[in-house]
Amino acid sequence: MKDKTCLSLWQVAMTYNLRAPDGTVTDLEAIREVTHELRMGEFVTIIGPSGCGKSTLLEVIAGLRKASGGEVYIWDQRITGPHPSIGMVFQEESTFPWRTVMENVEFGLEVRGVPKKERQKTCQRIIEIVGLHGFENSHPNALSGGMKQRVAIARALATDPEIMLMDEPFGALDQQTRLFIGQELLRIWEETGKTILFVTHDINEAVYLSDRVLVMSHRPSVVKAVVEVDIPRPRDTSTITLERFHELTSALWETLRVESEKALGITKTEVHI
């Protein structure tokens, strides 16, 4: 099953038309070309310097944004808008504060017209998978940041998508919480068998979670390197102490450092000073 390609990106490009206050329009080429394939059940992470278009790429795949070039396919279906086989988790806090945890998780099934009893049964199972049992009737304001993101993950999982797109979902959490919620995510992934495409800034998180890491270059971005993570699974928080983990994070940083310097406008001389 793992050999089956479920998501294909073919020469995906994105150029923005920026309008200046004086009315002149300039083109900003955010993504030059991304071509890649994800197989079923894989955990793939995209990493890259700030502003390289990682989130944009995810939004193109999710059908929330139209690419200016190239094509995205799920199985053999071309993506032209939001697809039922894709669930998305966002970086920002996206739970609905007026709904309870259960009602939040039910949202996707509710708008699809699934009867209440049926969707509650499904959502109860998902809530248990993400470890929020006992909080079904709580509102998000009663939950921690990590728990709120688990609600968002549960909401995306509830519609049973083939592919989960996760745009820096733990970006707002502290390092320790990230590590533990990352472990939770691996457990959820192993339990559900979903294909996950994950965006992060954090090299450690990328290596710890993924089967493969795509390193994107500075704007206009391309896939600069693909790093296969050969650390055996199951992984847990002790994985970060392995020598292989450090080798991989160092290799990734070497690739990423040059691109980050370009993004920040830092030259070698400046670094040495």
Partner 1 sequence: MPETYPKIKPQWVQWSIIVGSVLILEALSRGGLIRRTILVPPTEMVYTLAGFIVANQVTPHFIRTMVETFSSFAIAATFGIGIGIFFWKFIRIGKMFEPYIVSIYAMPLVLFYPLLLIFLGLGSPPIIFITTITSIIPIILNTTIGFREIGEVLHKVAKSNRCTPWQTFSKVLFPAATPFIFTGLKLGFIYALIVTIGMEFILTDLGLGFQVHQYYDFFNSPAMYAYIVLNLLIAVLANALLFRGEGAVRRERA
> Residues interacting with partner 1, by CB under 8 A?
59, 62-64, 81-82, 84, 86-88, 90, 92-94, 96-99, 107-108, 110-112, 139, 141, 155, 159
Closest CA to 100 of 164, 145, 148, 144: 148
Residue closer to partner 1 (CB basis): 87 or 183 = 87
Q: Give me the least distance between CB of 148 and partner 1, in Å please.
A: 12
Residue closer to partner 1 (CB basis): 90 or 135 = 90
Residue closer to partner 1 (CB basis): 142 or 264 = 142
Neighbours of 43 (CB within 10 A): 23
Q: Give me the least distance between CB of 104 and partner 1, in Å please.
A: 10
What DSSP letter does each residue of 131-146 carry, written as one string?
T-TT-TT--GGGS-HH
Contacts of 217 (CB under 8 A, 6+ apart): 48, 49, 52, 223, 224, 259, 262
Q: Give me the least distance between CB of 120 and partner 1, in Å please.
A: 17
Q: Give me the least distance between CB of 65 and partner 1, in Å please.
A: 10
Q: Give me the least distance between CB of 73 and partner 1, in Å please.
A: 18
Residue ranges in 140-174 assigned as alpha helix (H)? 145-158
Asked if residue 83 lies in contact with residue 77, where contact means CB atoms within 8 angstroms, the answer is yes
Which contiguous run of DSSP H or E holds residue 12? strand 5-19
Residue closer to partner 1 (CB basis): 135 or 208 = 135
Residue closer to partner 1 (CB basis): 139 or 187 = 139
